[in-house]
Amino acid sequence: MSHVFPRHCHATLPTAVAGDGCYLIDKDGKRYFDGSGGAAVSCLGHSNQNVINAIKEQAGKLAFAHTGFFTSEPAEELAELLIANAPGDLDRVYFVSGGSEAVESAIKLARQYFVEKGETQRRHLIARRQSYHGNTLGALSAGGNALRREKFAPILVEMSHVAPCYEYTERDTAESLEDYGQRVANDLEAEILRLGADTVMAFIAEPVVGATLGAVTSVPGYFKRVREICDEHGILLILDEVMCGMGRTGYLFAHEADGIKADIVCIAKGLGAGYQPIGAMLCTDHIYNTIKDGSGFFQHGHTYLGHPIATAASLAVVKEILNNDLVNQVKQRGAFLESALQAKFADHPHIGDIRGRGLFRGIEIVEDRDTKTPFNPSLGLAAKLKKAALAEGLICYPGSGTRDGKHGDHILLAPPFIASEAQLSELVNMLARAIDKTLP
């Protein structure tokens, strides 16, 4: 009997024993193409020798030095490299052990920033409906997916949720894309004014929505308007790039595509690339200095933050991405993947939408392609599709239809940046076979 506590208590999962580039191998020797990098994690594939060597070398040198007493060389070097390549005014890096911790840290940083400024009434956080920001209680509170929150109510943070920028179901067809983006952003401002602008501390959003909606980009101009609104009302803009960051969308930081500056950015999955648990929160010097010149102490921290082996591995990951020009490679292979998906699925009667950016792509499955009517969520199509894909030898990340009746089940694709065009074509073929076997 297994003593591992599995998330899906009734699931029997294959046992993974090895990784080889874009493939995972189970105990029976079956190979799986990692079409979703797990959950947009394994950007370099599974056996990157430079990362493995960096881990071994650091483990032999220094495994742990508590950050209450020491900083470490790999943490210093990694922070420097991230900041040298980050857009806007991001100047400080706070390391944590994963995405939820990064979001949790961002929420606490925003709160403490306003407390230090004497604006203690700024406690409200605004996020978007159908968003996911992590599983710890603060991050869960930020998430706008009612299903995930309901077992843990009442939640922690004073929260409001506004509409996401989800063009194809929410846009009035008479409206231009740009007008739609401005309207959704202006709804955010209306919510800020309703709450009282001086009670709001931050707005948090994913530049490209990953797990909940399946690689949904925002329409042009939306985030620019969001930035203006935050500035007008003195509100911090927190961007959650835990999933879409680190080159995944063809930009090292996904919000570069929107041409905006963030106050705080959370990254995680691609930063560790699956080799170790790590996350980070980047913020401006202005926020950092407000705390430094105030109480001088960020009232937050975890034992393993900035762990030398974790940061050494991530330093090797970021160097691999930068030195091999993988961000550009993602742009090119992303365009190839998009064409392959369009060629295979554009006329498919049950594919409602093909979307995304770079090697971050979503495919929506609907009952009726013209009306976009979703299949009934009780069919559990996404879970069935995941199973059928695994049987084909493909790992892809499923998302269930949302309960608003507007959005269908979706599949998120996030293959390793090193995937060849031939491998991406094979991914699309395997997915097509799995879809055909799954649909009712």
What is the binding site for ligand PMP (CB under 6 A)? 39, 98-100, 103, 132-135, 206, 210-211, 240, 242-243, 268
Report the sign of the C-alpha dihedral through residues 191, 193, 198, 203, in that order: positive
Q: How far is the CB of 133 from ligand PMP (least distance, A)?
A: 5
Beta bridge partners, 399, equal 410
Nearer residue to ligand PMP within complex by CB, 21 or 99? 99
What are the tokens at 291? 């705390």
Q: In the bound complex, what is the minimum distance in angstroms from residue 339's beta carbon to ligand PMP?
A: 26
Cα distance between residue 418 and residue 20, in whole Å: 12
**Alpha helix stretches (DSSP H) within 62-98:** 73-84
Close Cβ partners of 384 (under 8 Å, ≥ 6 residues apart): 438
User: In the complex with ligand PMP, which residue's Cβ is closer, 243 or 316?
Assistant: 243
Contact 233, 283 (CB under 8 A): no
Least Å distance between CB 41 and ligand PMP?
A: 9
Give whole-number Cα distances, 94 to 11, 106, 139, in Å: 36, 10, 17
> Whole-angstrom Cα distance, residue 96 to residue 105?
8
Q: Which is nearer to ligand PMP, 240 or 263 (CB)?
A: 240
Closest separation in Å from C-beta 175 to ligand PMP: 28
> Which is closer to ligand PMP, CB of 210 or CB of 308?
210
Nearer to ligand PMP, 240 or 364 (CB): 240
| Residue 272: CB minimum distance to ligand PMP, A | 9
**How is residue 111 written in tokens?**
């709160």
Q: What are phi and psi of 122, to 5 degrees?
A: -80, 95
* Closer residue to ligand PMP in complex, CB, 138/352: 138
* 239, two tokens: 């961007």
Cβ-contact 55, 63 below 8 angstroms: no
Q: Which two tokens stand for residue 439?
A: 């649909």
Q: How far is residue 243's CA from residue 291's CA, in Å, rounded to a whole number?
A: 28
Q: What is the DSSP string of 326-352?
A: HHHHHHHHHHHHHHHHHHHHTT-TTEE
Distance CA 243, CA 210 (A): 6
Considering only the C-alpha atoms of the chain, give the largest distance between any 2 of them, rounded to a whole number of Å: 63
Closer to ligand PMP by CB, 189 or 240: give it: 240
Least separation, in Å, of the C-beta of 149 and ligand PMP? 14
- In the complex, minimum distance from the CB of residue 222 to ligand PMP, in angstroms, rounded to a whole number: 17
Least distance from ligand PMP to the Cβ atom of residue 377, Å: 20
Helix (H) or strand (E) holding 313: helix 308-323
Among left, alpha and beta (phi > 0; psi -120 to 50; other), residue 303 is alpha
C-alpha triplet 264, 267, 269: angle, nearest 5° = 165
Q: Least Å distance between CB 40 and ligand PMP?
A: 7
Q: Kindly report whether the peptide bond that precedes residue 154 is cis, defined as omega within 30 degrees of 0.
A: yes
Other C-beta atoms closer than 10 Å to the C-beta of 127 total 26
Our CB check for ligand PMP shows the closer of 39 and 163 to be 39
CB of 165 to ligand PMP, least distance (A): 15
> Which residue is at the shortest CB distance from ligand PMP?
99
Which one, 134 or 416, has the nearer CB to ligand PMP? 134
Nearer to ligand PMP, 129 or 348 (CB): 129
Backbone angles phi, psi at 398, to 5 degrees: -90, 150
User: Closer to ligand PMP at the Cβ: 310 or 430?
Assistant: 310
- The label of the residue with tokens 């065009």 reads 421
Q: Write down the least CB distance from residue 301 to ligand PMP, Å.
A: 17
